[in-house]
Amino acid sequence: MSYSIDSDRLMADLRALAEFGKRPPGVHRPAFSAEDIAARKWLMTKLKEAGLTPEMDRLGTVIGRHPGAKRAILVGSHTDTVPNGGWLDGAMGVIYALEIARTIMENEPDGEIGVDVIDFQDEEGSFLSVLGSKVFVGSASLEDALDQTNHEGVKLAEILPTLDLPDGDIRLDRDRHVAFLETHIEQGPRLLSAGVPIGVVPSIAGIRRYEISTEGRPDHAGTTPVPVRRDAGMAVMCVATAIDAAFRQAASDGSTGPGAGDAVWNAGAITFRPGAYNVVPEAADLLFEIRAPDAETIAAMDSVIRKTAEREARARDVELTITDKANVAPTAMDDGAQQALRDGAGDLQMKYMDLTSGAGHDAMVMADHVPTGLMFVPSINGRSHCLDEDTDEADIIAGCKAMFQAVRRLRSSLS
Amino acid sequence: MSYSIDSDRLMADLRALAEFGKRPPGVHRPAFSAEDIAARKWLMTKLKEAGLTPEMDRLGTVIGRHPGAKRAILVGSHTDTVPNGGWLDGAMGVIYALEIARTIMENEPDGEIGVDVIDFQDEEGSFLSVLGSKVFVGSASLEDALDQTNHEGVKLAEILPTLDLPDGDIRLDRDRHVAFLETHIEQGPRLLSAGVPIGVVPSIAGIRRYEISTEGRPDHAGTTPVPVRRDAGMAVMCVATAIDAAFRQAASDGSTGPGAGDAVWNAGAITFRPGAYNVVPEAADLLFEIRAPDAETIAAMDSVIRKTAEREARARDVELTITDKANVAPTAMDDGAQQALRDGAGDLQMKYMDLTSGAGHDAMVMADHVPTGLMFVPSINGRSHCLDEDTDEADIIAGCKAMFQAVRRLRSSLS
């Protein structure tokens, strides 16, 4: 137990990776861009130098296999970024995996269970969110993937031949891969607010998305008394503010009901038609989403949304339509993997706390197929998916040490 | 007093005019369209047949002068329509004027004060709202008018040469024109609700328009707890709903404060940026307008808007900017003209009520230059500026009789 990861080497590799698509202080490295593929090829050389057996598949997903191991813990995340993204995001989780596997190769390469490094393609959804891990586990086929289009409407099948990628496919090996561990930046302010360096994720939040539409009558706003209007715009704003008030109330009660705990909600977009100063809005659309760590909270919030919307629509005499736009169930992380993460941090006298993941991650896809754990490190000011995303260097290093310790614990408990 | 207007002739002329640009049940006759010019030329022939001296000017404004009269009451409105508009709107006021002048020419053409018929160009603002009356009184120059562009960006100066219009200019004759009387459909439901056929307008409402903008922070909506967000979207919706609630409260109090009486308000358009399910809105813009019959109410409503917006912005920790987009003072109608309208309806045992005009009209422009009165007739379901705008035939006829009586009273009181 006297050895650990090399902090300087970790930071040097993180900075080297951030050169690919560099846009100071962040990076612009969308999946399947030239910079993305170059970064993945660079990773192949680093995996090879570490003594692992690197392989890239036809989509750009990279794996570094622990030679000689019959079984392995898969560790990693993704190196693609959103447009104008941060330098850490998933990249940090991949370099953690590289540094951890490299340290183990240098110190105790033998043993029943090895460490494989994984860098999934297109987690950020240039073509499809968590595309690489979906294909890896088989929940999306290669054909599904090739059929996806980017925001310019170009199919992945058209892009791929221009990128000089290999022919092979990398898939989950159910005999070999006994667990998956991912590290990601928190993308929120909770760890820093609490003064805690390590977040252990019990669950990735479920998401429901709604288009809430109202339809009234487009009266002349100068000549129609307010009480006789059927104002679709004011109605939908009353829906949004009343839902917000109900959820805030539940959260401040400390109750376990809707809006409590780690639940979040957002009114992200809105439009009125026809959209003029002097016309009472005839129609309005509101895009609303909720996220919560458990199905019961999701269901309770859903009920509040529907009841509130119906009440406000009735009060304003407008027609209401609620269209479901997405419905992703919460994903629980593996108890054993969670325990390894807690014990790993505890071994190093680091504080840790449970933290629901409000965002999706490759771990969400993996959890249905292999025992999976997800760990967070702090995000400065909670900034994420923007060029100025960052994490304190001490927190980056502490996170890698904690994950290293968790891998060692899991390696020994699964043996 | 034994003669009156000819109801059948009135209805026949209204229906004849509605043939120009007919789109059943309404009309599409925007200013400076071929249909608009054809309708104005038709009106010229009707004015001539009535014994008046017709003239059209270079913009298409038409006047029919009472021959021999040194002074005259100007009566009329506009025959241009909004795209896909109603058959009555301003056209009814022009045909009222034709029928009233024709009746007077037939029965008592002599007297100190004649009746001139006016049909203003482009009241609906194909190029500029109330363009014709503005040029008529000199508050806009011919050059101002020619420099206006339509929604396709084409200047009026480019359109005009294609329309085969005369060269002359028709202007307010301050020695001749002793008053202006306009009739218009109400464009709202108040007369019908009250069961009253005649509205006498004491004032055309003032209008203030605002762009209310908020700016916060574009956090990840899945990973940022609600209490620490700076949500520009929810903030601006809270501004709108809180203003609405304050105005409704004042209206239900029956107080003379903001929102009372004939005051109206509207949140007509709204946008969030970036506008996605999973991003807390960084910025939001709301277009809001208020209208009220007097400056005191406008000022009180303005104060509520600013205080409410500041309070809600502070509560949500967002930056607030309120930009003034329009500020038109209320326009009082002439006391004598109002009295003539009331007495005219009273003479005929018709019920009448005071009714603030929430919309602008040529009377608003005229009132600054000549004693002006404005009368409303009921609108079925309050519909206006749409193809299915209509007024009960009995109400159309009653309105013309009442206006005829008001013209006779004014003619005698001004002599």
Nearest to B205 among A222, A248, A277 (CB): A222
Nearest to B265 by CA among B291, B239, B304: B291
B117 touches B84 (CB < 8 A): no
Query: Does residue A371 have a cis peptide bond before it, meaning omega lies within 30 degrees of 0?
Result: no
Nearest to A223 among B186, B272, B276 (CB): B186
> Quick one: pLDDT at residue A201?
97
Stretch B223-234: mean pLDDT: 94
Provide the shortest C-alpha distance from residue B94 to chain A (in Å).
Answer: 21
Number of other CB atoms surrounding residue A3 within 10 Å:
11
Identify the helix (H) or strand (E) that includes residue A301. Answer: helix A295-315
> Quick one: pLDDT at residue B208?
96
Residue among B151, B220, B327, B381 with most chain A CBs within 10 A, to mutate: B220
Nearest to B278 among A193, A289, A382 (CB): A289
State the residue for tokens 């301050």: B174
Using the predicted structure, report yes or no on whether residue B376 has a pLDDT greater than 90: yes
Stretch A27-39: mean pLDDT: 97
Amino acid letter, residue B260: A
CA A347 to chain centre: 27
Number of other CB atoms surrounding residue B148 within 10 Å:
17
Residue among A186, A219, A223 with most chain B CBs within 10 A, to mutate: A223
Supply the mean pLDDT for chain B.
95
Chain B CB contacts of A272 under 8 Å are: 267-270
Nearest to A237 among B224, B241, B287 (CB): B241
Supply the mean pLDDT for chain A.
95
Residue B195 pLDDT class (50, 70, 90 cuts):
very high
Chain A CB contacts of B360 under 8 Å are: 222
> Quick one: pLDDT at residue A254?
63
Helix (H, G, I), strand (E, B) or coil at A112: coil
Give the Cα-Cα-Cα angle B232, A192, B218 (nearest 5 degrees). 20
> Quick one: pLDDT at residue A1?
52
> Quick one: pLDDT at residue A258?
54
Provide the shortest C-alpha distance from residue A260 to chain B (in Å).
Answer: 11
Kindly determine whether residue B248 and residue A270, on different chains, have CB atoms separated by under 8 Å. no
Dihedral angle sign, alpha carbons of residues B221, B224, B230, B235: positive
Nearest to A234 among B207, B240, B289 (CB): B240
Chain A CB contacts of B191 under 8 Å are: none
Amino acid letter, residue A406: A
Nearest to B277 among A227, A231, A268 (CB): A268
Look up residue A236 and give its two tokens. 């939908």
Kindly determine whether residue A382 and residue B223, on different chains, have CB atoms separated by under 8 Å. yes
Tens-place pLDDT, residues A290-305: 999 999 999 999 999 9
CA dist A264 and B227 (Å) reads 10
CA B117 to chain centre: 19
Using the predicted structure, report yes or no on whether residue B234 has a pLDDT greater than 80: yes
> Quick one: pLDDT at residue A235?
98
> Quick one: pLDDT at residue B89?
96
Provide the shortest C-alpha distance from residue B389 to chain A (in Å).
Answer: 12
Provide the shortest C-alpha distance from residue B324 to chain A (in Å).
Answer: 13
Residue B25 pLDDT class (50, 70, 90 cuts):
very high
Query: Does residue A274 have a cis peptide bond before it, meaning omega lies within 30 degrees of 0?
Result: yes
A196 Rama class: left (phi>0) / alpha (psi -120 to 50) / beta: beta
Residue B253 pLDDT class (50, 70, 90 cuts):
confident
Dihedral angle sign, alpha carbons of residues B100, B102, B108, B109: positive
Helix axis angle, B393-413 to B7-17, nearest 10°: 110
Kindly determine whether residue A224 and residue B289, on different chains, have CB atoms separated by under 8 Å. no
> Quick one: pLDDT at residue B251?
81
Kindly determine whether residue B222 and residue A278, on different chains, have CB atoms separated by under 8 Å. no
> Quick one: pLDDT at residue B164?
93
What DSSP letter does each residue of A167-228 carry, written as one string? Answer: S------TTTEEEEEEEEE-SSSHHHHHT-SEEE-SEEPEEEEEEEEEE----BTTTS-GGG
Provide the shortest C-alpha distance from residue B185 to chain A (in Å).
Answer: 11
Stretch B362-385: mean pLDDT: 96
Helix (H, G, I), strand (E, B) or coil at A43: helix
Kindly determine whether residue B269 and residue A277, on different chains, have CB atoms separated by under 8 Å. yes
Tens-place pLDDT, residues A230-269: 999 999 999 999 999 999 998 877 654 555 568 999 999 9
Chain B CB contacts of A291 under 8 Å are: 221-222
Number of other CB atoms surrounding residue A162 within 10 Å:
9
Number of other CB atoms surrounding residue A353 within 10 Å:
16
> Quick one: pLDDT at residue A257?
55
Chain B CB contacts of A247 under 8 Å are: 226
Chain A CB contacts of B382 under 8 Å are: 219-220, 223-224, 228
- Which chain A residue has the Cα nearest residue B222? A358
Chain A CB contacts of B292 under 8 Å are: none
CA dist B370 and B375 (Å) reads 16
- Which chain A residue has the Cα nearest residue B206? A222
Tens-place pLDDT, residues A40-74: 999 999 999 999 999 999 999 999 999 999 999 99
Helix axis angle, B91-107 to B393-413, nearest 10°: 50
Residue A141 CB contacts under 8 Å (≥ 6 apart), including other chains = A135
Kindly determine whether residue A251 and residue B186, on different chains, have CB atoms separated by under 8 Å. no
CA dist A129 and A109 (Å) reads 34
Nearest to A94 by CA among A125, A117, A65, A126: A117
Identify the helix (H) or strand (E) that includes residue A120. Answer: strand A113-120
Tens-place pLDDT, residues A392-409: 999 999 999 999 999 999
Nearest to B237 among A209, A237, A382 (CB): A237
Provide the shortest C-alpha distance from residue B295 to chain A (in Å).
Answer: 16
Stretch B85-100: mean pLDDT: 97
Amino acid letter, residue B132: G
- Which chain B residue has the Cα nearest residue A272? B269
B408 touches B105 (CB < 8 A): no
CA dist B96 and B362 (Å) reads 15
Kindly determine whether residue A223 and residue B358, on different chains, have CB atoms separated by under 8 Å. yes
CA dist B58 and B171 (Å) reads 12
Kindly determine whether residue A219 and residue B267, on different chains, have CB atoms separated by under 8 Å. no
Using the predicted structure, report yes or no on whether residue B79 has a pLDDT greater than 70: yes
Using the predicted structure, report yes or no on whether residue A180 has a pLDDT greater than 70: yes
**Of the given ranges (A10-19, B254-263, B297-306), which has the lowest mean pLDDT?**
B254-263
> Quick one: pLDDT at residue A332?
96
Kindly determine whether residue A241 and residue B244, on different chains, have CB atoms separated by under 8 Å. no
Chain B CB contacts of A193 under 8 Å are: 228
Look up residue B214 and give its two tokens. 């908020």
Tens-place pLDDT, residues A99-108: 999 999 999 9
Chain A CB contacts of B312 under 8 Å are: none
State the residue for tokens 């004027």: B97
